[in-house]
Structures are given as structure tokens and as C-alpha cells.
């Protein structure tokens, strides 16, 4: 607007100055060709017809002939405007601020045996240390400028809206729930409320971070003691589980060992039974083999005559048993003599 008025004043001044003539005794006005140079004064308006928006900025258009602040905004770059318009520059960079805000927590409620609820205390105050990151986006810049008339949002405005949103959501949780894991729920719900609240100001919330919550030494001491007790209980349960596993492992090993011994004993007994059976069969076969006829059959008459009268010079079954058992002893002997001998030592067999 200023450049337009200035250019008109400059034009009039130049036009009059270039058109005035001086005579011998008078001064008079006469339009001449050089008077056209006065129109060059309107070139002063030319720079005001362009608006430059730099990187990480947004331009808000003000037009006095269209009601003031326009919803149309300019992004980065060079833009053509009318001489009557002006462009207000707002930064779109990410802004970060840290606040310490106190808010009241909820009442502690206990459910009784009959299903009714009883208030057992609570309502303590908690002090939150938090960081908020926000920015002004191009489409919403006109809202921001209408609210604040510039590029700066007062910290008192931000803190008041944070306090309101934090109080609304902090009271939904008692202090012990917040300290024992519910803090993230408070943060999530508060951030959702802040996004809606700051959108009214033309501001976009990028992040809402709760850095710390202070509930006082007494409350934090109770929570710490409870956490320590819970951890000790967990360790004790794990120790019990480990002891039970060791006990079950030892029991299983004993059962396996007993089963192995039983299997080995059964196998040895079965082997001995088979060996005895085979040995007895071999002795009896050798004994009857003495009485076979030419056809390979046992001569019962010859056998009976030997067993009753001792005729024929055959070996008795006792003599054959001694021979077989002696040979079996030689076949299975490990070559080590026994260190202790009971009974008649003359029966010890010593190989040459």
C-alpha cells in the first residue's frame, strides 16, 4: 500500500516538474514529450508485486480489499501478488520446548467382597517433566497468524493447554498405576487431546514426550519396595522351579539306572538260563551218543544194560558232565586266579 501511494506522489511531482515552463517574466504549465518520463515513477510499485518465501517458511496473505487475512497461503518460492497485498512470513521449522507441569492423579478404589467399590485414598499430585515438539504447517498458517499475529506462540498458551490436557487424563489413573507402567497410557491420551487442542491454533503436534514423573519420596519408596518384593518373589519361585527340576532329574536318572540294572540282570539271567539249557543238552547228547547204532538211533537195551550192570565201559553222565564243565571253564576263564579260595583247594584248575 505504501509503495502505491508513494509512486502516485512521485508521479505527480515528476509530471509537474517536467511540464512547468519558465518565461521571461512568468512560469506556466505546458505538457511536453518529456512529461512522459513521469510515468517511470510507477516502476517503484514493481518490487511490491512479488513475494519471496524462503526455505522452511510459509507466507500468509493479507489483502485489505478482501477482508484481511486470507486462507490462501504461499509455500516456498517466488509468488506474484497485487501491490495492495502483503505477505506475513511464519517459520515451519520444528519447535521444541520443555515444561514442568503438576497434575492431580486419581482416587484409589478397592472392590469389596460384595462387589461394591470403596475409595481407599489417592488423589496425590504428580509433577511431570515433559517435552513437546510442534510446527506450523502451510495449510494451517493463516489460523496461526490470526491467533497470534506473528511467528511466536506464547509459552504461557502452550503450558496452559498442556496442563489442561494432562490434568484431564492424569486423574483417570491413581499414582501407583502411573508409576508401575500406566505412564505411557497417560502420555498417549494426553497427546491425543493436545493434537485436537493445538489444531485450533493452526499448530501440528509432532511428539509429546514425558521425560519423568515425580510423586514424592514416600510414594516412590512404596513403589520401589513393592517392586523389590515382587522381584524377590520371582527369584524365589524360579529357585523353587530349579530345585524341582533338579529333583525330577535325579529321580529320573535313578529310575533309568534301576531300569538299566533290571534289564541287565534279566538279560544275564536269561543268558545263564540259555547257557545252562544248552550245556545240559550237550551233556545229555554226548551221553546218548555212546549208545547209537549204525542207523543213528539210541540202543535202549545197550544203554539200560550199562546203567544197571555197568557193562560196556561207557562214560557215565557224571563223567561227561565233568568233562564238559571243565572245558567250559577253560573257554571262559580270564586267566586271573582267585585271591581267596574256600573249601578244598585241590580242585583248582591251573593251566600249565
pLDDT at 352: 44
Instruction: Using the structure block, give the residue that is written with the C-alpha cell 549208545.
Output: 291
Instruction: Tell whether the model's pLDDT for residue 28 goes beyond 90.
Output: no
pLDDT band per the 50, 70, 90 thresholds, residue 26: low
Please check whether residue 32 is in contact with residue 15, taking contact to mean a CB–CB distance below 8 angstroms: no
HSE of 341, CA atoms in CB hemisphere, 13 A: 10
To the nearest whole percent, how much of the chain has pLDDT over 70? 71
Residue 135 scores a pLDDT above 90: yes
For 329, the grid coordinates are 571253564
Predicted local confidence at residue 47, as pLDDT: 65
- Backbone φ and ψ of 333, nearest 5°: -75, 135
Comparing 111 with 191, the larger pLDDT belongs to 191
Contact 11, 39 (CB under 8 A): yes
Average pLDDT, the chain: 79
pLDDT the model gives residue 51: 84
pLDDT confidence tier of residue 208, bands split at 50, 70 and 90: very high
Range list of H helices, 40-80:
none
DSSP state of 180: I
Task: Give 33's DSSP letter.
Answer: G
CA 296 from chain centre, in angstroms, equals: 90
Comparison of pLDDT for 149 and 299, the residue scoring more: 149
Query: What is the structure's pLDDT at 265?
Result: 75
Which residues neighbour 181 within 8 Å (Cβ) at sequence distance 6 or greater?
none
Mean pLDDT for 70-90 is 87
Pick the more confident residue, 159 or 244: 159
More confident residue, 283 or 45: 283
Over range 229-235, report the average pLDDT: 70
More confident of the two residues 308 and 157: 157
Q: Is 215 in contact with 126 (CB distance < 8 Å)?
A: yes
Q: How many Cα neighbours within 13 Å face the side chain of 302?
A: 14
For position 275, what pLDDT does the model report? Answer: 64
166/116: higher pLDDT: 166
For residue 272, give the H/E element and its range. Answer: helix 217-289
Residue 43: the pLDDT is 58
How far apart (Å, rounded) are the C-alpha atoms in residues 240 and 229?
16
Average pLDDT over residues 243-272: 77
pLDDT number for residue 351: 45
What average pLDDT does the segment 270-298 reach?
A: 75
Residue/partner pairs of 334-339 with CB below 8 Å, 24 or more apart: none
Query: Given this model, what pLDDT does residue 163 score?
Result: 94
d(C-alpha 327, C-alpha 323), whole Å = 6
On the question of pLDDT at 295 being above 60, the answer is yes
pLDDT band at residue 230, thresholds of 50, 70 and 90? low
More confident site: 69 or 238: 69
Per-residue pLDDT band at 246 (split at 50, 70, 90): confident
pLDDT tier at 133, thresholds 50, 70, 90: very high
- The residue ranking higher by pLDDT, 313 or 193, is 193
Least confident of 12-26, 84-98, 305-319: 12-26
Q: Is the pLDDT of residue 109 over 50?
A: yes
Percent of residues, the chain, with pLDDT higher than 90: 26
Amino acid at each position: 500500500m505504501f509503495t502505491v501511494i508513494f509512486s502516485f506522489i512521485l508521479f505527480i511531482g515528476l509530471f509537474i516538474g517536467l511540464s512547468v515552463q519558465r518565461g521571461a517574466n512568468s512560469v506556466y504549465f505546458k505538457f511536453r514529450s518529456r512529461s512522459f518520463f513521469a510515468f517511470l515513477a510507477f516502476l517503484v510499485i514493481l518490487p511490491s508485486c512479488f513475494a519471496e518465501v524462503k526455505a522452511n517458511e510459509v507466507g500468509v496473505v493479507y489483502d485489505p480489499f478482501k477482508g484481511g487475512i486470507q486462507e490462501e497461503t504461499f509455500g516456498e518460492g517466488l509468488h506474484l501478488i497485487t501491490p495492495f497485498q502483503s505477505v506475513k512470513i511464519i517459520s515451519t521449522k520444528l519447535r521444541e520446548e520443555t515444561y514442568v507441569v503438576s497434575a492431580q492423579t486419581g482416587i484409589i478404589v478397592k472392590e469389596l467382597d460384595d462387589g461394591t467399590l470403596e475409595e481407599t485414598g489417592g488423589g496425590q499430585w504428580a509433577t511431570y517433566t515433559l517435552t513437546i515438539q510442534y510446527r506450523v504447517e502451510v495449510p494451517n498458517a493463516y489460523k496461526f497468524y490470526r491467533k497470534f499475529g506473528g511467528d511466536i506462540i506464547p509459552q504461557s498458551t502452550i503450558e496452559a493447554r498442556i496442563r489442561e490436557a494432562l490434568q484431564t487424563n492424569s486423574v483417570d489413573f491413581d499414582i501407583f498405576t502411573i508409576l508401575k507402567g500406566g505412564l505411557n497410557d497417560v502420555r498417549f491420551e494426553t497427546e491425543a487431546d493436545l493434537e485436537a487442542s493445538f489444531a485450533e491454533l493452526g499448530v501440528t503436534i509432532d511428539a509429546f514426550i514425558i521425560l519423568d514423573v515425580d510423586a514424592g519420596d514416600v510414594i516412590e519408596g512404596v513403589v520401589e519396595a513393592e517392586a523389590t518384593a515382587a522381584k524377590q518373589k520371582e527369584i524365589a519361585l524360579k529357585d523353587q522351579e530349579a530345585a524341582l527340576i533338579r529333583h525330577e532329574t535325579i529321580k529320573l536318572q535313578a529310575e533309568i539306572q534301576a531300569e538299566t540294572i533290571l534289564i541287565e540282570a534279566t538279560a544275564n539271567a536269561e543268558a545263564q538260563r540259555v547257557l545252562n539249557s544248552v550245556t545240559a543238552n550237550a551233556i545229555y547228547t554226548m551221553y546218548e551218543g555212546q549208545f547209537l547204532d549204525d542207523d543213528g538211533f539210541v540202543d535202549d537195551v545197550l544203554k539200560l544194560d550199562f546203567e544197571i550192570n555197568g557193562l560196556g565201559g561207557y562214560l557215565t553222565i557224571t563223567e561227561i558232565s565233568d568233562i564238559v564243565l571243565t572245558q567250559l571253564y577253560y573257554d571262559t576263564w580270564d586267566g586271573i586266579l582267585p585271591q581267596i579260595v574256600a573249601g578244598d583247594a585241590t580242585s583248582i584248575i591251573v593251566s600249565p
